[in-house]
C-alpha cells in the first residue's frame, strides 16, 4: 500500500479534515469516472462519489490496512452503485414490459466512424447487468487485477474470472448485433435483475 | 479481447470543479447533524429495549406470578369425593339408531362398540 495514503488514512482516523481533503483530491476523478462508467449517469456519479468520500471519512476507523486503500474505496463506491442500480431496476420493472428499451443503436453507416462504435459500446455497457458490468469496468477500464477485483466485490476469484469473461462475451455479442443492424434485443434480455 | 481494449476508448469523465468544496460542505453539515442522529438512534434503541422489557415482564408475570393451581377434572373430582350426586339430574335420552344405520351395500360391515369413555362413576351416568 502507498505509505502516503496510509498516513493520510491514519490522520483521517484521528479526525484530520485536511488529510481527508487531500484524499478527495487524489481520488475524486477516478471515483467519479468509475461511478459514471457503472451508472451511466454523470450527475448520479457525482452524488454517489460525494457519498463515497463521506463514508470514507465517517467509517475510517473500520479500515484495516490489510488491503490497499483504493480497494476499500472502490468497494464502498461499488456498493453504492449497486444499491443505486438496484433501486433503478425496481423502478423500471413496472414499465419494462410496455416501454421500448431506451437503447439507441447507431446505424451501420455511423459505424464507419470511431464515435459510432464507442456510442454502441457505451449503450451496450449501460444495458449490461451490474454483476458483469462492475468487474468488467474494474478490469478493462480501471486496470485492476482479478485478485484486487475479488477483494473489491467480495467474491471468489473464480467468480470474478467468470463474470469478466461472461460480461465481455455479452458486450461482444451486442456489438456484433449492432454491427449487423439487428437491434431487436431487449434490455431485459441482458439485465435479468440479478446483482 | 478486442472489445475490452475498446472499453478504454470510452469517454473518461472528471469530477466537477466544485466537487471538493461540496464534499467538505456536506462533511461539515453531516458532522453537525451527527449528534442529533446519534440521539435519535439511541432513542429508537431505548424504545425497542423498553418494548422488549415489557414483553418479557408480561411473559414472566403470566408464567410465574399469575400461575393458577392444578385443574381438577370432572373424573378427578369424583375420586376425591367432592361430588354430590344430588347436584346432577339424571336424564334419560331416547337414542334413535335408525339414521346411524347406513346402507351395507357400499360400506364395509362395521361393528359399533359402545363403551363408556368417562372415568366418572357409572352411577352418575344413565343411559
Q: Rounded to an integer, what distance in angstroms lies between the CA atom of residue A136 and that of residue A144? A: 10
Selection from A59, A68, A61, A43 nearest residue A142 by Cα: A68
Tens-binned pLDDT, residue by residue, of chain B (127 aa): 455 567 777 888 899 999 999 999 999 998 888 888 889 999 999 999 999 999 999 999 888 877 666 555 555 555 555 556 666 677 777 777 777 766 555 666 777 777 766 666 656 655 5
Mean pLDDT computed over every residue of chain A: 81
Q: Which three cell numbers stand for residue B82?
A: 367432592
Other Cβ atoms less than 10 A from the Cβ of A68: the count is 17
Question: Which has the higher per-residue pLDDT, A182 or A109?
Answer: A182
Which of A37, A58, A118 is nearest residue B9 as measured by Cβ atoms? A118
To probe the interface with B, which of A12, A23, A31, A53 has the most B CB atoms within 10 Å?
Answer: A53
Residues of A in contact with B10 (CB under 8 A): 37, 118, 121-122, 125, 141
Distance (Å) of CA A146 to CA A77, A125, A162, B41: 18, 19, 10, 39
Cβ-defined contact of B10 to A37 (cutoff 8 Å)? yes
**A148-189, pLDDT tens digit by residue?**
999 999 999 999 999 999 999 998 888 888 777 655 444 444
Q: Which three cell numbers stand for residue B108?
A: 364395509
Which of B10, B16, B19 is nearest residue A121 as measured by Cβ atoms? B10
Q: Which three cell numbers stand for residue B62?
A: 403470566
A42: CB partners within 8 A, 6+ apart: A36, B13
How large is the average pLDDT for residues A49-75? 90
**What pLDDT was estimated at residue A185?**
46
How large is the average pLDDT for residues A116-139? 86
Question: Which has the higher per-residue pLDDT, A114 or A11?
Answer: A11
Q: Looking at this predicted complex, what is its ipTM?
A: 0.73
- State if pTM tops 0.90: no
Task: List residues in chain A touching B: CB distance below 8 A.
Answer: 17, 20-21, 24-25, 28-29, 31-33, 36-37, 42, 45-46, 49-50, 53-54, 57-58, 114, 117-118, 121-122, 125, 136-137, 139-141, 168, 171-172, 175
Amino acid at each position: 500500500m502507498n505509505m502516503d495514503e496510509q498516513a493520510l488514512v491514519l490522520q483521517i482516523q484521528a479526525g484530520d479534515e485536511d488529510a481527508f481533503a487531500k484524499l478527495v483530491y487524489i481520488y475524486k476523478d477516478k471515483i467519479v469516472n468509475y461511478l459514471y462508467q457503472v451508472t451511466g449517469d454523470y450527475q448520479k456519479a457525482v452524488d454517489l462519489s460525494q457519498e463515497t468520500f463521506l463514508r470514507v471519512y465517517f467509517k475510517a476507523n473500520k479500515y484495516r490496512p490489510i488491503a490497499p486503500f483504493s480497494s476499500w474505496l472502490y468497494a464502498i463506491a461499488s456498493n453504492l452503485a449497486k444499491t443505486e442500480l438496484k433501486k433503478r431496476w425496481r423502478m423500471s420493472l413496472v414499465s419494462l414490459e410496455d416501454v421500448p428499451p431506451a437503447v439507441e443503436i447507431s446505424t451501420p453507416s455511423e459505424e464507419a466512424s470511431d464515435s459510432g462504435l464507442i456510442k454502441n459500446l457505451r449503450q451496450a455497457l449501460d444495458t449490461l447487468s451490474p454483476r458483469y458490468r462492475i468487474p468488467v469496468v474494474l478490469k478493462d477500464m480501471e486496470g485492476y487485477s482479478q485478485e484486487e477485483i475479488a477483494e473489491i466485490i467480495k467474491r471468489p476469484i473464480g467468480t470474478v474470472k467468470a463474470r469478466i469473461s461472461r460480461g465481455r462475451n455479452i458486450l461482444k455479442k451486442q456489438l456484433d448485433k449492432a454491427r449487423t443492424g439487428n437491434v431487436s434485443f431487449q434490455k431485459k434480455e441482458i439485465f435479468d435483475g440479478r446483482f | 479481447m478486442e472489445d475490452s481494449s475498446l472499453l478504454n476508448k470510452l469517454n473518461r469523465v472528471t469530477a466537477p470543479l466544485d466537487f471538493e468544496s461540496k464534499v467538505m460542505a456536506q462533511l461539515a453539515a453531516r458532522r453537525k447533524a451527527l449528534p442529533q442522529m446519534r440521539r435519535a438512534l439511541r432513542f429508537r434503541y431505548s424504545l425497542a429495549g423498553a418494548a422488549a422489557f415489557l414483553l418479557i415482564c408480561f411473559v414472566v408475570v403470566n408464567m410465574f406470578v399469575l400461575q393458577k393451581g392444578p385443574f381438577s377434572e370432572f373424573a378427578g373430582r369424583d375420586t376425591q369425593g367432592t361430588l354430590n350426586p344430588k347436584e346432577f339430574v339424571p336424564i334419560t335420552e331416547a337414542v334413535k339408531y335408525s339414521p346411524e344405520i347406513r346402507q351395507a351395500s357400499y360400506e364395509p360391515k362395521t361393528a359399533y362398540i359402545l363403551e363408556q369413555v368417562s372415568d366418572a362413576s357409572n352411577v352418575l351416568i344413565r343411559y
